[in-house]
């Protein structure tokens, strides 16, 4: 009998945290017998694999451990794990996070009742352990079910009060939807999720917005992602992912079908957020890298300044102008100073 939900969890050096994550799955009111948990050990250098194998021994009908001999990072690990999924739906967890005991029961119920391609729920950042956590999950906003029938409705949805973020760990995806559009993560980069979630956003027909804080995102200062975010060598990862995302949108036809929205996604995430991200972390781009990104925008979206959705957002008007600045050594310091002003003016990001 097929499981209700396949849960994919990439694991790298998470000895200190993985039991906590697994215990949250063990306590699920939907019943662990209804879960298929796929644990990918991404060539951990600590005792992670041993812990995963103990969990597999405890629940051999529900847990699959995939040991990798070389570290390939989260995106590639998740792509491998998808091949093992047999559940009706797919969920993603990071090994240092956890979910509330009734989470999957609630999420699965609304997914089935509404035949949803995606269920989006809410995540709360935490610095404490589960026994110290506030177990409340309520939000001030009501739940919403949204059906999309055409590109105009999709654009209005995203330009309205849309809670969707580009992460995958606060969503449930119908497995046949993921397989139909071959949704995959970028590989070899840390900011891998946009390649998966952006095409999903351009293809779904039915989404349920479950406005409850059912996921806990643990701010782990020793996690691989936390440290990679401050690594100069990983500075360009977001831009690389978005270049790959553009090619994916172009290949599957969603770029042409949803051009204004796709352009909106790309300009904000590829250029503006890349510069804000790097500047805010003290790993600014060099002159040639910025000029390359400017050239990419002008080649792929030459009329981006005419995008009505972008122009309606005052937040993006000044950063957009910086895409058109002709740069050389004489004005690059001044250019970087303008990004620093933008970061200071928007400490929570753009």
Q: Check which CATH number belongs to the domain holding 27 and give it.
A: 3.90.550.10
State how many domains the chain has: 2
Q: Are residues 20 and 62 in the same domain?
A: yes
pLDDT of residue 286: 93
Output the tens digit of pLDDT for each of the chain's 350 residues: 789 999 999 999 999 999 999 999 999 999 999 999 999 999 999 999 999 999 999 999 999 999 999 999 999 999 999 999 999 999 999 999 999 999 999 999 999 999 999 999 999 988 888 877 887 788 889 999 999 999 999 999 999 989 999 999 999 999 999 999 999 999 999 889 999 999 999 999 999 999 999 999 987 655 544 444 556 788 999 999 999 999 999 999 999 999 999 999 999 999 999 999 999 888 989 999 999 999 999 999 999 999 999 998 888 999 999 999 999 999 999 999 999 999 999 877 77
pLDDT of residue 290: 97
Q: Are residues 169 and 244 in the same domain?
A: no
Q: Are residues 16 and 148 in the same domain?
A: yes
Q: How far apart are CA 304 and CA 311, in angstroms?
A: 9
Task: Give the distance from CA 275 to its chain's centroid.
Answer: 19
Q: Are residues 135 and 170 in the same domain?
A: yes
pLDDT of residue 126: 85
pLDDT of residue 226: 47
227 falls within a domain:
no
185 falls within a domain:
yes
Boundary of a domain, candidates 197, 220, 243: 220
pLDDT of residue 303: 97
Q: Are residues 248 and 280 in the same domain?
A: yes
Residues spanned by the domain of 313: 233-345
226 falls within a domain:
no
Q: Are residues 132 and 25 in the same domain?
A: yes
Q: How far apart are CA 175 and CA 2, in angstroms?
A: 12
Q: Are residues 45 and 176 in the same domain?
A: yes
Q: Are residues 98 and 238 in the same domain?
A: no
- Neighbour-count burial for 268-305, b at 16+ CB within 10 Å, e otherwise: bbbbbbbbbbbbbeebbbeeeebeebbebbeebbeebe
pLDDT of residue 230: 57
Q: What are the φ/ψ torsions at residue 55 (nearest 5 degrees)?
A: -65, -40
Question: Residue 189 in contact with residue 73, Cβ under 8 Å?
Answer: yes
Q: How far apart are CA 245 and CA 167, in angstroms?
A: 14
Q: Are residues 284 and 136 in the same domain?
A: no
pLDDT of residue 221: 58
269 falls within a domain:
yes
Boundary of a domain, candidates 196, 220, 244: 220
Q: Are residues 38 and 67 in the same domain?
A: yes
Q: Are residues 202 and 282 in the same domain?
A: no
225 falls within a domain:
no
Q: Which residue has the tokens 């079908």?
A: 257
339 falls within a domain:
yes
137 falls within a domain:
yes
Boundary of a domain, candidates 161, 196, 220: 220
Q: Are residues 31 and 169 in the same domain?
A: yes
287 falls within a domain:
yes
């Amino acid at each position: 009998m097929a499981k209700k939900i396949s849960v994919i969890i990439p694991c790298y050096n998470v000895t200190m945290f993985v039991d906590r994550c697994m215990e949250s799955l063990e306590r699920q009111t939907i019943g662990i017998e209804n879960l298929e948990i796929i644990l990918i050990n991404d060539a951990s250098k600590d005792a992670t694999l041993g812990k995963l194998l103990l969990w597999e021994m405890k629940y051999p009908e529900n847990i699959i451990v995939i040991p990798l001999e070389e570290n390939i990072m989260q995106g590639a690990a998740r792509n491998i794990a998808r091949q093992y999924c047999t559940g009706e739906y797919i969920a993603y967890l990071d090994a240092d996070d956890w979910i509330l005991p009734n989470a999957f029961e609630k999420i699965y119920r609304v997914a089935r009742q509404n035949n949803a391609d995606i269920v989006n729920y809410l995540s709360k950042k935490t610095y404490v352990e589960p026994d110290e956590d506030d177990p409340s999950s309520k939000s001030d906003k009501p739940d919403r079910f949204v059906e999309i029938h055409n590109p105009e409705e999709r654009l209005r949805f995203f330009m309205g009060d849309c809670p969707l973020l580009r992460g995958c760990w606060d969503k449930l995806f119908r497995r046949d939807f993921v397989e139909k559009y071959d949704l995959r993560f970028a590989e070899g980069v840390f900011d891998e999720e946009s390649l998966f979630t952006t095409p999903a956003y351009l293809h779904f027909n039915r989404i349920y917005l479950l406005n409850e804080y059912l996921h806990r995102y643990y701010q782990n200062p020793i996690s691989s992602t936390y440290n990679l975010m401050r690594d100069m060598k990983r500075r360009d990862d977001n831009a690389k992912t978005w270049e790959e995302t553009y090619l994916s949108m172009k290949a599957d036809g969603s770029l042409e079908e949803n051009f204004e929205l796709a352009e909106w996604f790309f300009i904000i995430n590829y250029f503006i957020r890349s510069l804000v991200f790097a500047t805010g972390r003290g790993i600014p781009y060099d002159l040639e890298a910025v000029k390359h990104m400017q050239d990419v925008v002008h080649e792929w979206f030459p009329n981006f300044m005419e995008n009505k959705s972008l122009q309606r957002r005052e937040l993006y008007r000044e950063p957009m102008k910086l895409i058109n600045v002709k740069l050389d050594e004489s004005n690059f310091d001044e250019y970087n100073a303008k990004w620093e002003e933008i970061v200071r003016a928007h400490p929570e990001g753009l």
